[in-house]
Amino acid sequence: MEQATLGVIGGSGVYQMEGLTEVKEVKVKTPFGDPSDVIVLGILGNQRIAFLPRHGRGHRIMPAELPVRANIYAFKSLGVERIISISAVGSLREDFAPLDIVIPDQLFDRTKDRPTSFFGNGLVVHISFADPFCPELSQVLYNAAQKAGARTHKGGTLVVIDGPQFSTKAESEVYRQWKMDIIGMTAVPEAKLAREAEMCYAAVAMVTDYDVWHPSHDSVTVEMVVQNLLKNAEMGKRIVRYAASEIPAERTHCPCPTALRDSIITARDRIPAKSRRDLGLLLDMYLPPTKRMPVAKKSKK
């Protein structure tokens, strides 16, 4: 049964979503383990929302440890069609100042060893990912951010690193030379997995500081960054509230809902039964129904 259509992933500083009505919490089990936390369901504007604090309540899970496949799969199993990601980022350019909002349109993946696909183990799927963020949802978020009163930038390249350490000055300078605009630790693999699950994914990236390249860096205190994080968290929630009332009912203006249509490469009769079963939620639309597998009998020796 569909329980939500809009998923919201709260980043650093955003551990709950105020203003929801008919709130209930659900614990969702997935073939990929448990999500970061229980998922909070409720109504916001005209949307049924599923909210998940990315790092868990109390901020317990670091970026490279996040159970992202479980998080995205759990949203999918609740009926979620679109995901708004809220995250804190560093800025790699002077004109993206602390407290600004960026709605990124490109990603650059510098992570290592994170599971970035639902597929594998005998099932090969190649989705198109040239434009990693949903254009329609990004536009809704841009409008909402402006309405909420934030200084907002439309478009920008988000470079994603593993962390948990921040960059060195040398790394930060290289990212700037590569024309990256903001730096974060979580949009990969979230965006990749959301696309594989045919969900729209767009990000509200909230600038907390100028990373380490900026001449002012040495005078920036942790306290200042935390203050920005808290102010941004309030702004992020306000943006979600505005966005929730502006999201169109049908998804007809973006490629996300049919991402898997021509992407399943493995011959149909070679797809392993376990993958077929575990990923039925994603595959059922495109593959013939699964036959009931006969229960294997243990042979006695």
84 vs 200, beta carbon nearer Zn ion: 200
Interaction residues for Zn ion, span 32-51 (CB under 5 A): none
Nearer to Zn ion, 25 or 262 (CB): 262
Q: Pick between residue 243 and residue 256 the one whose CB is nearest to Zn ion.
A: 256
How far apart are alpha carbons 80 and 59 in whole angstroms?
24
Find residue 160's DSSP bridge partners.
Answer: 109, 184
Nearer to Zn ion, 148 or 202 (CB): 202
The whole-angstrom separation of Cα 289 and Cα 271 is 13
Residue among 8, 134, 145, 283 that touches Zn ion (CB under 5 A):
134
Minimal distance in Å, beta carbon 70 to Zn ion?
Answer: 22
Give the HSE-up count for residue 60: Cα atoms under 13 Å, Cβ half-sphere: 7
CB 204 to Zn ion: min, Å: 15
102 binds Zn ion (CB under 5 A): no
The catalytically annotated residue of 37, 100, 105, 209 is 209
CB 226 within 8 A of CB 13: no
How far is it, in rounded angstroms, from Cα 84 to Cα 209? 22
Other C-beta atoms lying within 10 Å of the C-beta of residue 189: 22
Q: Are 89 and 14 in contact (CB under 8 A)?
A: no
Residue 200, interface with Zn ion (CB under 5 A)?
yes
257 three-class SS: helix
Q: How far is the CB of 194 from Zn ion (least distance, A)?
A: 9
Q: Which stretch binds Zn ion (CB under 5 A): 131-139, 233-241, 278-286, 291-299?
A: 131-139
Q: Which of 211, 218, 262, 284 is catalytic?
A: 211
Active site residue 113: no
- Tell me the closest approach of the beta carbon of residue 196 to Zn ion, in angstroms: 13
Tell me the C-alpha distance between 224 and 35, whole Å: 31
Distance of CA 162 to the CA centre of its chain: 15
Question: Rounded to the nearest whole angstrom, what is the least distance from the CB of residue 259 to Zn ion in the complex?
Answer: 9
Q: What six digits make up the tokens of 153?
A: 């930038």
| Segment near Zn ion (CB under 5 A); pick from 18-26, 142-150, 199-207, 268-276 | 199-207
211 flagged as catalytic: yes
How far apart CA 53 and CA 77 sit, in angstroms, is 17
User: Which residues from 215-274 bind Zn ion, rule CB under 5 A?
Assistant: 254, 256
Give contact residues for Zn ion (rule: CB under 5 A). 134, 200, 254, 256
Catalytic residues: 209, 211
